[in-house]
Amino acid sequence: MATRNLPKPPAASPWKPAGARAQQREAKRNAVLQTAARLFNERGYHATSLDDIAEQLHVSKPTLYYYVKSKDDILLECVRTALGMMQQGIDEVRRAGGSAIDQLMACMRIYSRIVTMDFGMCVIRIGEDPLPAPRRKELRRLKAGIDGEFRRLIADGIAEGSLAPCDPKMAAFVLAGALSWIGRWYRPDGGLDPDAIADQSIALLMAGVQQRDPSPRRIPKKPAVRKSK
């Protein structure tokens, strides 16, 4: 029989489809941001260079510019990512509904958990101060949105009777300030994991540290002081 000339299969393209390339680029960009956030937290923003970030990723410094514009751009995206995670978590809690106090505690847990992550610690340890004024303004707007959510939940809790009457603005500052400080002292190799830290922090903030005595405690009167003649 005569051998039939079968068509050769097409050569495999060395280029991936556009969707796959976009995914790969986003994964590499996230790796740049994650590595930068970790170095910023460990060494400080000013002590970390693009060369340091490139060295950690085993790439050249010019390669970084394919994913980010500058060190300022990296910090902006790190802080923006963390604030976006917080807002997304709070939005999900609000959509799920429930009592104001339950929603408040769920949002506190989200906030506490995020400040133990690289991006969240970047918000607390570095913040927006190293950035130019226009970028600082944008990040402060995002922070104000999260602060507003806490104030609304506290006001709702007061209205429903689950929270003691207080100034929602002051209460929101105190709660967020205390939870934010976790990002300063938290260490991954410490004795408590992020969930345990969240549990204890929320319990302390909601109940306080003063011992509750069911019977009213009498304060002894001071003895009268006799005046010398």
For 94-141, write each residue's pLDDT tens digit.
999 999 999 999 999 999 999 999 999 999 999 888 988 888 888 999
Give the pLDDT of residue 223: 56
Question: Which residues 6+ apart lie within 8 Å of 190 measured at CB?
Answer: none
For 40-75, write each residue's pLDDT tens digit.
999 999 999 999 999 999 999 999 999 999 999 999
**Phi/psi of residue 92, nearest 5 degrees:** -65, -40
Fold topology of 78-207: Tetracycline Repressor; domain 2 (1.10.357)
> What is the DSSP annotation of 133-148?
HHHHHHHHHHHHHHHH
C-beta of residue 46 within 8 angstroms of C-beta of residue 129? no
Q: Which of the four pLDDT bands, split at 50, 70 and 90, describes residue 227? A: low
List the chain domain ranges. 78-207
Q: How far apart are CA 188 and CA 42, in angstroms?
A: 12
**% of the chain exceeding 90 in pLDDT:** 69
Provide the 3-class DSSP secondary structure of residue 68: coil
Q: How many CB atoms lie within 10 A of CB 151?
A: 18
Q: How many CB atoms lie within 10 A of CB 195?
A: 12
